[in-house]
Amino acid sequence: MFEIKENRKLPRAADWIMIFYQIFVTITIIFHYSKVPYAQYFLIYHVLVILFLLWLPGTENQSVWKWLKIWNPILIIATNFTELHYVIHNVNPIDWDNALIQLDYYLFGVHPTIWIEKWAHPLLTEYLQFIYTTFYFLPIVLAIILYCKKEYAKFDYFIFVIVFGYYAFYIGYFLVPAVGPRFTLDHLQNEPLNGVWISEELRHILDRLENTQRDAFPSGHTEITLLTMLYAWRYSKAYFWVMLIIGTSLIFSTVYLRYHYVIDLIAGILLFILVEALAPKLYNILNRLHLSIPGKN
């Protein structure tokens, strides 16, 4: 069982993960300072985030500060993702797409995104593009459910697992940068993915928000969706049945919509298993850094 203790003095476990990631990217940028555009601004940003997360626990537990203590990962994770467009390719300029394409072909005897287009239909494309767009909000919904039910210990642990999961696949992007099949295999596709109403606009919105990212391997969509499904099963059965449909559709959409190779999904599943295996012990280790984060009785 987990319990919440009083008088928090140092960051919670999830915030420590964010601090460690800021340190990782800061060191990476310093070693590649001349190659990273706007490097000085990114360094300032990371230092400010670290200082903010260290300072935040000592603020009053009221109004805006209370909400920032609880929900700050939503903003920090999103801004860290946006930064990857400027950093990854400049510190690791060799894309791994050719190797991933060959692995897919070796495993399946076809290029999955090419093969699957025989099943393409405007209504299916419309549905899957919408589902794909909901990815970032799915764990937030479960977090809100737990918070509103005042299950604070479960809420805190779930936030930690999701933050850990996000930064695990961010680091994977640094190690194996790849742009994905919609850029590398587009010349082999026979038909564009046309929807019915808003799928094209949703695709353009995502493209504008992400820019060109090296974010194919591993599939963070697969990893985070599986983590959300697992904890929905444990903590909120009603939401699990919703996630079972949405989550399965979302993972399928990553290949259907040509965002990912299938090997990316396999890597996302393996990363999900790794994160789930390491999370309990890491959570307890980070809890020992202060007096107020949930710990085991």
Distance (Å, whole) CA 220 – CA 192: 25
What mean pLDDT, rounded, does the chain reach?
Answer: 92
Residues 146-174 have a mean pLDDT of 97
Distance (Å, whole) CA 19 – CA 10: 12
- Residue 12: which region, alpha, beta or left (left: phi > 0; alpha: psi -120 to 50)? beta
User: Can you give the pTM of this predicted structure?
Assistant: 0.92
Contact at 8 Å (CB) between 1 and 297? yes
What is the pLDDT at residue 212? 75
Q: Which structural domain range is residue 186 located in? A: 2-291
- Position 28 in a domain: yes
Quote the tokens at residue 145: 């459910």
- Position 229 in a domain: yes
- Position 44 in a domain: yes
In sequence order, the 6+-apart residues with CB closer than 8 A to the CB of 57 are 8, 9, 10, 11, 12, 69, 290, 292
Residues 58-68 have a mean pLDDT of 82
If we measure between CA atoms, which residue out of 125, 130, 120 comes closest to residue 205?
A: 130
Query: pLDDT grade, residue 228 (50/70/90)?
Result: very high
The structural domain count of the chain equals: 1
- Position 296 in a domain: no
What is the pLDDT at residue 204? 87
Query: pLDDT grade, residue 203 (50/70/90)?
Result: confident
Distance (Å, whole) CA 2 – CA 187: 53
- Position 61 in a domain: yes
Distance (Å, whole) CA 275 – CA 214: 21
In sequence order, the 6+-apart residues with CB closer than 8 A to the CB of 25 are 42, 46, 80, 83, 87
Distance (Å, whole) CA 40 – CA 86: 12
What is the pLDDT at residue 295? 37
